[in-house]
Amino acid sequence: QLNAVIFDLDGVITDTAEYHFIAWKQLAEQLGITFDRAFNEQLKGVSRMESLERILALGGQTDRYTMAEKEALAHQKNEHYKQLIARMTPDDLLPGMLDLLRELKRQNIKIGLASASKNAFTVIERLGIREYFDTIVDAAKVQNSKPHPEIFLTAAEQLRVDPSTCIGVEDAQAGVAAIKAANMFAIGVGDKEALKEADYIVETTADLTYDAIVRAFYR
């Protein structure tokens, strides 16, 4: 029986990856590190500090900064990112997502958010969809990042549902792995090859209709 659907935020509900890209790119350039869109793909679903570490490694600067300096660099990126997301509106919802949230509500299926972003709440507010969520679990509330299942398990616990009755929706490979480790039904949005661990894969959110996901879950 399907009781809940738990969504990732970035890349599933909205495309904040572009804003993360702009903010990280500016910081990387300041440090003399060349940073392109292809590399940005590797930062999807990855925490802020881990993203910084990967960028420093890309530039061969892993040991150049103290922990305090790294915190300051991550803070600087986040201030820039916050300026960018402050301009988001409901128009930034990905295709089909509002319809899906509405239909889930109508069918009395619980809705959760499991995002690695500490800015998740702000983004949800900017998108005007706060009212749809029965729980929002973000990186600030968990110890372990994806692919660890903790964030999805915490969401299920707060929704008071058994993980096996949940669908998790993710665009990142680490996210799909986290959903599977939580013993939930995993839906991947994006590349078939990259997300092959998922139980069901759609190319874009436009294909993420209520009927399609329910059919996949009960198949």
Name beta bridge partners: 85: none
Write down the catalytic residue from 10, 92, 138, 171: 10
Tell me whether residue 8 is one of the annotated catalytic residues: yes
Name which position in 4, 5, 6, 8 contacts Mg ion (CB under 5 A): 8
Task: Print burial letters for 193-206: b (CB count within 10 Å at least 16), e (below 16).
Answer: ebbeebbbbbeebe
Chain-centre distance for alpha carbon 198: 15
Tell me whether residue 191 is one of the annotated catalytic residues: no
Determine which helix (DSSP H) or strand (DSSP E) holds 218, and give its type and residue range: helix 210-218
Q: Name the residue nearer to ligand B16 (CB basis): 107 or 116.
A: 116
116 binds, among Mg ion, ligand B16, none (CB under 5 to 8 A by kind): ligand B16
Q: d(Cα 128, Cα 136) in Å, to the nearest integer?
A: 14
Q: What is the dihedral of CA 115, 121, 127, 128, to 10 degrees?
A: 130
CB of 43 to ligand B16, least distance (A): 5
Q: What is the DSSP string of 15-37?
A: -THHHHHHHHHHHHHHTT----H
Q: Name the residue nearer to ligand B16 (CB basis): 8 or 150.
A: 8
- Among the listed residues 160, 105, 154, 162, the one whose alpha carbon sits nearest the alpha carbon of residue 133: 105
x-or-dash string of contact with Mg ion, 139-178, rule CB under 5 A: --------------------------------xx------
x-or-dash string of contact with ligand B16, 13-52, rule CB under 6 A: -------x----------------------xxxxxx--x-
- Residues lying near ligand B16 in the complex (CB under 6 A) are found at 8-11, 20, 43-48, 51, 78, 115-119, 139, 172
Q: Which residues of the chain form contacts with Mg ion (CB under 5 A)?
A: 8, 10-11, 45, 171-172
